[in-house]
Structures are given as structure tokens and as C-alpha cells.
Amino acid sequence: MMLSTHTAILVAYAGAALVSCGLTPLARRFALRSGAIDQPSDRKVHERPLPTSGGVAIIAGFLVAAWLVGAGDRMRPQAFVAMVAGALLVSLVGFVDDRRELPAKFKLVLQIVSALPLLGAGVTISVVSDPFHHGMLFLPFWVSALITVLWVVGVTNAINLVDGLDGLAAGVSAIACVALAFIALTWDQPAVALLCAALAGAAIGFLPWNWHPAGIIMGDTGAYFLGYMIGAVTVMGAFKMAAAIAIFVPILVLAVPLLDTVLSPVRRFLSGRPAFAADRDHLHHRLIALGLAETRVVILTYAVTALCGVVAVWISRGR
């Protein structure tokens, strides 16, 4: 017997949170035994070695929750398989990068490859609002594919870039996913809401172990997974809105990480550094440099993300 939509959403959220929270200590032991440790450096805030396999628990939490509520049966199976396959592929890239740092351009190529299953399953940004007339513009496939890949890869890296302080990426992802779930329900996208609830639960379950002072971090494994899935579900849901706000809403929800993603390469280029080089000059680093404590920066970022999410939900309800 299939659960009702709202019950399934609650089960997905709670199930993902419990599994993620319960498995994180095991992931920590695995990381310690396998040597998956993130060492302190000039571009990192933490001052002691930290296990990096938290993302494994996040992924497990999401997958178990999706299985519990039959997420694949509530949407096109091809779309669900493509999303999960792409997310697992890019997470594998992150898993390797957590242990053996990969070149930035090589990772970018693999992220693009990971987005390709979405195109084959039809999970694309295929229509946009016509700015000059009422109605929608149907995009040629190559344009649709390009925009979709750029969006998914961009969001993947946005969540990864914001993962610079204890609890920051997990909390921002959870808040964004809760907002996206409400928006999806408003626009009659129950499958998208279900996936967002599972993602939010997986991130929340990990957060107690990742809060300052963190005992484990999600690493690129978790950040890539969360970013990819958030990018994919917004393509499925928010970008399908038949209104002029279709593109604006998900951008608003993800305003904080996307802003940092856009500013980072520009800042590096202007300072004469490689655009993809890692540094310690992101928005959260700048706030710490101004004298704010790490936890205050995290809470402030949560508040801004939540405010953007509330505004996005309010705008979406005014369709």
C-alpha cells in the first residue's frame, strides 16, 4: 500500500535523518581506519585532522529513505535512476578526491560527465518563460542540454564551496531543501517534494556530528552528492513552473552558495590566480576575518538562507 504524499514526505525526512545520524559514527570509524583524513592547511579553518567520510552516511540516509517510500515509483523511473546514477558517479569522484586530491579541471570534466544521464532521461530545462509575450519558449535540445549541465554542475560546486565551516553545507542544504519541498508541493510536484525531504533529512541527521567542533566532515563525497541532487530536483520541479518566476525561485533559494560560486572565479581572475584554485577567501572566510566567531557565521548564513527560502516560497504561492 502506497503512503499518502504528506505521510511519505514525513517518513522520507525522518527515515533519512535517522539513518544518516546512525551511520555517521560508523563512517567516522571507517575513515579513521582507512586513512581518509582531511589535514589542516592554510586554506582551511579547522586546526586538527578530521575524518572525511561523512558523505557516505548522507548518501545512505537518502537512499534508504527513497527506498522506504518508493520514490522511484512516484516519478518516471528513468528520471529517478538517472538522478541517482549521476549523483553516485559524482560522489565517487568526490570520494576519490577526499583521499587523493584530483586536478580541478579533471574534476570539472567528470562533473559534466555525471550530468549527462539527466539529459538521456529527459531531466532538462526545456522551456523558459517568453520575456516578450505570454507563454513559454521551447528550447532546442542543445541549448536545453547546455543550460541543464551548467546549472547542475554549478549547484554541485556551490554546495562544495560553501562546505568550509563546521555545519555550514549540511545546514544550508537542509534549509534549501525544505524550502524547495514547500515550493514543489505548491506547484503540484509531489515527487520532487519527496526527494527534497529525503535530502533535507539526510543533511540534518549528519549535522549533530558535524557541528562545531566537528568530529567528522562530509567531504567532497557528501557535498557533491547534495549539490548534484539539489541541482537535479530543481530542474525537475522549480524550473518546470509555467511562469516568469520559474528560474528566479531556485536561484533565490540557493542565493548564498551560488553567489559565492559566481564571485570566487572572478575574484581569483582579478587577483591573477587560476580560476579553479582553492583559497581561503570565500564569503564565510571573510566574515571570520572581520572577527565573527565560526558558529555565528554559520548561524548568520542559515538565517540568510532561510530568509531567501521564505521569500521564494511566498513568491511561488503568488502564481
The secondary structure of the chain as a DSSP string is: -PPPHHHHHHHHHHHHHHHHHHHHHHHHHHHHHHT-EEPP-TT-S--S-EE-THHHHHHHHHHHHHHHTTGGGSS-HHHHHHHHHHHHHHHHHHHHHHHSPPPHHHHHHHHHHHHHHHHHTT-S--EEE-SSSSSEEEPPHHHHHHHHHHHHHHHHHHHHHHTTSTTHHHHHHHHHHHHHHHHHHHTT-HHHHHHHHHHHHHHHHHHHHHSSSPS---HHHHHHHHHHHHHHHHHHTGGG-SSTTTTHHHHHHTHHHHHHHHHHHHHHHHTTS-TT---S-SHHHHHHHTT--HHHHHHHHHHHHHHHHHHHHHHHHT-
Mean pLDDT of 91-117: 94
Q: Assess whether pLDDT exceeds 60 at residue 240.
A: no
pLDDT in tens, 180-229: 999 999 888 999 999 999 999 999 999 999 999 999 999 999 999 999 99
Of 287 and 78, more confident: 78
pTM of the entire predicted model: 0.91
Q: Assess whether pLDDT exceeds 90 at residue 120.
A: yes
Q: Poorest-confidence range of 28-32, 117-121, 141-145, 268-272?
A: 268-272
Q: What is the pLDDT of residue 285?
A: 66
Of 171 and 47, more confident: 171
